[in-house]
Chain A
């Protein structure tokens, strides 16, 4: 391993960290604006032009707020839980190709931290670890609402993981590789080659699972404000709570990237146009997360489990079997 490789990797990591932390902040701004417009409100308006500096104001507030550790919590676990959420969200980004490779000054840059050959497995696995944040934070909080939230996060977790795994199995069988770069290159032939056309069912299932994975609105049971206050975040304050938040929003961006790369052709043939198309697709999926939050009601935890285990999982299995049969003959 030579020095240049290490430096390049570190630079990539820092860039990804900075870009996506900033994007997570901007994501909250867009979420507020979009939700506000859909509800005929104005959203943040007063800090900076169009309220853009609201993000900075929130950041200052979160950073300077007192970090309260309540008396009866299990302190080490309570302190580490937000770090788990934020860290795993960013770790998952390591295997995601954000941009096609490009050349600056004769030096080829691969905008992916680690092109491991089990990319998607790694991404899903590390994202799944992120659920330990709510689980441990909720159980350590010595608060009933947090405890309910922790129980729900475990229930949600065992439900959606089945779907996301099984639904991805069918496209992966077609591609024959777990690397996200390979999956992208499989669809290089343009819009007709996108996996969404051959695997629409898997696409829908994975999309549904993505909502459960990020805990967004139809499945926002883990921190459902009107039922259990902020769930696992009830006892948190200041930057520890902020870490949960950054983790959630970074996760939304990363899962949008994953959906766009696996099902919608990713960055295509690697030209600049393809790269911007990828960003557009990601923007659409991110917008869709906000859109559903304005439009759809939440389901109950038992409804989510019922949906995942009794409806979506059989569909996913049937999809895998049919894909296998089609590939065999």
Chain B
């Protein structure tokens, strides 16, 4: 589809734009009467009746019985966050760089890190206050390790919001990983297929 004819916004014979043909509004009583007669006897009312009747007979119901059936949801949908693991080692992807905590506009990510015995930075605490999170996706966008991503869990009704966003809840469980159920989102910014993100070597 070429967009050139659409770029010229002036109405002329070269551009794709044209004025919509709108009939003059009737002004005199006689014209109004003629309009009513025309509309009445053109059968438009019966077209309307037929259309809804046809739909009723076809019985092509589009209702999704929500708690029982669910619609598929887009892979880039921004629901409650997930922390992912490395495919080959099962180690946490998060390197504790703190970029997500820094970029979060509503300042709702809270994390704590320490240096472990291999002098590798380890994330001890990681939580998101969902009461403030606006699901903007900046944290997932900025993460250099594709560690924090948005999941598809949009049903976050619970007694406490905290139930969703402690580190243990967000982190992919190890048995999930081994059975291959950790989902990567496709598209821009995702990991290249058949090439896993590997643990950054300590000695650079």
Q: Does A291 contact B (CB under 8 A)?
A: yes
Q: B36, A42: Cβ atoms under 8 Å?
A: no
Smallest Cβ-Cβ distance to B62: which chain A residue: A40
Q: A296, B61: Cβ atoms under 8 Å?
A: no
Cβ of A130 to closest chain B Cβ, rounded Å: 27
CA distance A123 to B13 in the complex (A): 64
Interface residues of A in 261-297 (CB under 8 A from B): 291-292, 294-296
Q: B62, A291: Cβ atoms under 8 Å?
A: no
Smallest Cβ-Cβ distance to B64: which chain A residue: A42
Given A34-B56, A307-B36, A311-B36, A295 contacting B62 (CB threshold 8 A): no
Residues of chain A lying within 8 A (CB to CB) of residue B195: none
Q: A42, B61: Cβ atoms under 8 Å?
A: yes
Interface string of B20-44 (1 = CB under 8 A from A): 0000000001001100100000000
Cβ of A123 to closest chain B Cβ, rounded Å: 28
Cβ of A318 to closest chain B Cβ, rounded Å: 15
CA distance A34 to B55 in the complex (A): 11
Binds A, one of B45-53, B107-115, B148-156, B181-189: B45-53
- Identify which of A42, A292, A306 contacts B49 (C-beta below 8 A): A292
Residues of chain A lying within 8 A (CB to CB) of residue B55: 37-40
Q: Does B59 contact A (CB under 8 A)?
A: yes
Q: A40, B53: Cβ atoms under 8 Å?
A: no
Cβ of B48 to closest chain A Cβ, rounded Å: 4
Q: B56, A38: Cβ atoms under 8 Å?
A: yes
Residues of chain A lying within 8 A (CB to CB) of residue B63: 40-42
Which of under 10, 10 to 19, 20 to 34, or 35 or more describes the interface residues of B?
10 to 19
Q: A40, B36: Cβ atoms under 8 Å?
A: no
- Identify which of A42, A295, A307 contacts B52 (C-beta below 8 A): A295
Which of under 10, 10 to 19, 20 to 34, or 35 or more describes the interface residues of A?
10 to 19
Residues of chain A lying within 8 A (CB to CB) of residue B48: 295-296
Residues of chain A lying within 8 A (CB to CB) of residue B61: 37, 40-42
Given A45-B65, A311-B33, A311-B36, A40 contacting B60 (CB threshold 8 A): yes
CA distance A264 to B61 in the complex (A): 35
CA distance A39 to B54 in the complex (A): 10
- Identify which of B33, B36, B49, B56 contacts A37 (C-beta below 8 A): B56
Residues of chain B lying within 8 A (CB to CB) of residue A37: 55-56, 59, 61
Given A34-B56, A311-B33, A311-B36, A41 contacting B49 (CB threshold 8 A): no
CA distance A80 to B51 in the complex (A): 42
CA distance A38 to B59 in the complex (A): 8
CA distance A74 to B134 in the complex (A): 47
Interface residues of A in 33-65 (CB under 8 A from B): 34, 37-42, 45
Interface string of B50-79 (1 = CB under 8 A from A): 011101100111110100000000000000
Residues of chain B lying within 8 A (CB to CB) of residue A39: 52, 55
CA distance A38 to B52 in the complex (A): 5
Q: B62, A294: Cβ atoms under 8 Å?
A: no
Q: A291, B49: Cβ atoms under 8 Å?
A: yes
Cβ of B26 to closest chain A Cβ, rounded Å: 12
Smallest Cβ-Cβ distance to B47: which chain A residue: A295
Q: B49, A295: Cβ atoms under 8 Å?
A: yes
CA distance A295 to B60 in the complex (A): 17
CA distance A89 to B53 in the complex (A): 30
Residues of chain B lying within 8 A (CB to CB) of residue A310: 29, 33
Cβ of A285 to closest chain B Cβ, rounded Å: 14
Cβ of A226 to closest chain B Cβ, rounded Å: 18
Smallest Cβ-Cβ distance to A38: which chain B residue: B52
Given A296-B45, A296-B48, A38 contacting B53 (CB threshold 8 A): yes
Smallest Cβ-Cβ distance to A295: which chain B residue: B48
Q: B53, A291: Cβ atoms under 8 Å?
A: yes
Provide 19 A-B residue pairs closer than 8 Å at the C-beta atoms, listed in order of the A residue.
A34-B56, A37-B56, A37-B59, A37-B61, A39-B52, A40-B55, A40-B60, A41-B62, A42-B65, A291-B52, A291-B53, A294-B52, A295-B48, A295-B49, A295-B51, A306-B32, A307-B36, A310-B29, A311-B33
Ranked 7 nearest A-B pairs via Cβ:
A295-B48, A38-B52, A42-B63, A294-B52, A37-B56, A295-B52, A40-B62
| Residue positions of A touching B, CB distance < 8 A | 34, 37-42, 45, 291-292, 294-296, 306-307, 310-311
